[in-house]
């Protein structure tokens, strides 16, 4: 009976060790990620992803910055470089072309015309609205306000961008205008 008691006692130590070890490890990891004074709701993606992935986040932010500049400066060439090399789905209220899949050269032609017909007033997005999904896609929303050339009409479109990695760079594979 004493032998049985020792194995029961050893078994309980093993159970405690299996439970306690993950708690200690998570506590140590949590301490390095969420230091004193850090508010977890304000942490960026880079702080929550291992250091080797921070390059991906920087690349994503760079692509979003180029998209924003393309719209603000009305640069079809610069925007074309942000699109995927495969066909891209676009659906915009501001263009006369039907929603569908287009090649980069077609998109250059479309946005060249859009930027000639419309005068961008602002292109705004919130970095907190940028999301990276588990399947490796990224999403962000923006508000694009423009004036229709030759009229007093000002329009604001809510744009949804979907991006994927292509040759280690983030590229737009879908762009949709959503009603406000």
Q: What is the pLDDT of residues 37-47, one digit of tens each?
A: 343 333 333 33
Strands 169-178 and 88-91: parallel
Tell if the pTM clears 0.85, that is, is over it. no
Query: Residue 149 above 80 pLDDT?
Result: yes
Per-residue pLDDT reduced to its tens digit, 108-118: 999 999 999 99
CA dist 167 and 84 (Å) reads: 10
Tens digits of per-residue pLDDT, 80-105?
999 999 999 999 887 666 899 999 99
What's the helix, strand, coil split of the chain in %, to 5?
Answer: 45, 30, 25
Q: Report which of 148, 145, 143, 147 is spatially closest to residue 160, judged by C-alpha positions.
A: 143
Domain extents in the chain? 2-36, 46-178
pLDDT recorded at residue 62: 95
Topology of the domain comprising 46-178: Nuclear Transport Factor 2; Chain: A, (3.10.450)
Question: Phi and psi dihedrals of 26, rounded to 5?
Answer: -60, -35
User: Is residue 150 pLDDT above 60, yes or no?
Assistant: yes
Q: How many CB atoms lie within 10 A of CB 16?
A: 10
């Amino acid at each position: 009976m004493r032998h049985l008691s020792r194995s029961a006692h050893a078994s309980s130590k093993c159970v405690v060790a299996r439970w306690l070890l993950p708690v200690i490890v998570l506590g140590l990891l949590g301490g390095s990620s969420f230091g004193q004074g850090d508010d977890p709701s304000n942490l960026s993606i880079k702080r929550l992803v291992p250091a080797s992935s921070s390059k991906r986040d920087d690349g994503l932010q760079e692509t979003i910055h180029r998209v924003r500049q393309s719209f603000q400066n009305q640069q079809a060439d610069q925007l074309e470089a942000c699109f995927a090399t495969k066909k891209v789905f676009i659906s915009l209220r501001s263009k006369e072309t039907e929603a569908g899949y287009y090649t980069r050269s077609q998109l250059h032609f479309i946005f060249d015309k859009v930027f000639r017909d419309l005068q961008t007033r602002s292109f705004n997005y919130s970095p907190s609205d940028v999301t990276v999904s588990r399947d490796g896609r990224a999403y962000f929303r923006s508000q694009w306000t423009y004036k229709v050339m030759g009229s007093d009409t000002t329009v604001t479109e809510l744009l949804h961008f979907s991006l994927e990695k292509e040759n280690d760079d983030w590229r737009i594979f879908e762009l949709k205008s959503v009603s406000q």
